[in-house]
Chain A
Amino acid sequence: MSADPETPRAEYASKKGEVVLRSHEYDGIQEYDQMLPNWWLFIFLGSLAFFVGYWVLYYNFGFFHDDQEVITRKIAQIEEVKAKELDEMLAKLTDDALINQWATDDTVVAAGKEIFLSNCIACHGQDLSAKIDIGNGQSVSLPGLPLTDGVWKYGSKPMDIFKLINEGTPANSTGHNGAKMEAWGQKMPPLQIAQLTAFLIRENPKDFAK
């Protein structure tokens, strides 16, 4: 071992900055002893103090809230925001407005189409037929209802469609072969649902006369 020959021999260092070489060797391995660096002690003792402080603040001073209480409160606030957004949207929307304003606006319809493609095609198909072509002229059914056959099972007015997307298949319905659509209003803001409705109107010009 190439320890500095000048290093004093002792079992333990006794003050800061002192370096001693311990006398015992293990298979030729020697060990110095020196005091712990201050910055290291600071981290170590700091984390111990943080441990005690955090626990005391949490349990003895009620400084933090418990997780279930916090999440319940936050979700309730979000529900309020959502309800307000929906009210504002419903105040604007009418069957007439959806057909003559929303569905005639190309940017709105394009936005609706994008939403449709990323959320709806698993059940309603890329071409809205609720079928998918698997080659060889074969096509396979998808879980949803076709959206181009002129049949609107849950109401054929634009606002019925908006409501259906927003709230999902009505609870008292048996669904389509048992399949029920989820309430997209839980995931999408009312604006997106309106855009989606506009897209469907544009795709079915005969069903929604101006």
Chain B
Amino acid sequence: MKAVPLSYIVRNLWVRRVTTMLTALGMALVVYVFSTVLMMSEGIRATLVATGQSDNVVVLRKGAGAEINSGIDRAQAGVVHSLPGIAADALGRRLVSSEPVALNNLPKRGSGKPSNVTVRGASEVGLELRPQVRLAQGRMFRPGTSEIVTGRAIADGFAGAGLGETLRFGGREWTVVGVLDAGRSGFDSEIWGDSEQMMQAFRREAFSSIVFRLVDAGDFERTRAAIESDPRLTLEAKPEIRFYAEQSEALATFISILGSVLSVIFSIGAIVGAMITMFAAVAQRVGEIGTLRALGFRRGAVLVAFLAEALVLSLVGGVAGLAAASLMQTVNISTTNFQTFSELAFRFTMTPVIAAWTLLFALCMGLLGGFIPAWRAARLSIVDCLRAA
């Protein structure tokens, strides 16, 4: 079946510029919302996934779900520390870190609104266990002191958390001696201090979690079985990557469901707009349709021509919306992660998959909006078209 030339299709869109722009604008806005939501969800996942190392293992109290709900007493911690299969660093230190985690309600810079910030009792070993975390400014805290280092998002976003400033909690003043760059992972939103000092300050007798690295990542199953079957322990072990992936599940899923539902609802508006435009285009060009059919173009060619016009229209809108959404990548946002109850800074993240889904969504809108008008155009009889022209 011979097709109507593409130049005919594209030029018709150009000739009715105002209408084309308005319709494409409606679609672009819907696409923008759709894409941004996916990017938000992806940004949360990406941040938390970047937080996990493939050969690290996280141990929590069984059934706790999050570090703040978990308690591991010193005796149990000791048992985990002495497990076989734990790697050692160049200095011969075992790469295992028992960490108390607490939430500190701190006011943000500017707005003064309070938000829960994760405070982690760490150590040099803890830093080694997270190779993606480095010191961007200043130095690491000295063990046994009231010195702390803050993640970049916290240093920027919260009052008193910048280099050289002081925070007050747990009955004492803490000096920020360094700022961490955690490579856009969850640790950018944390405050680290000496583990024992934190235990004292928060009057704790139990750690929240234990992180260690295995010599051989393949050993995980055996190690996990050993932990979970040990009668002295009421703990569970997870690969760090999975632990953090689970931490983002609820929030990321909530956002993507909310956003997708909204996008679908909005798309009805854009589809209606496309339908109105295409119906008008068909009505205006009834004479041309008759001419093309008289010349010998098939009904199918007419259908495809108008459908293609709708698709080109939606592609224009889709690309515009995608471009606008891409700009969002420069925006830093943060929110409280429902599961950990603490602040998480992240970015809108664009991926090729999101771009592909977005364009597909745009094309679907064009298809749905353009189909009925195109089908109607193809159904017209030649004689009626010519008479109506």
Q: A and B: real partners?
A: no
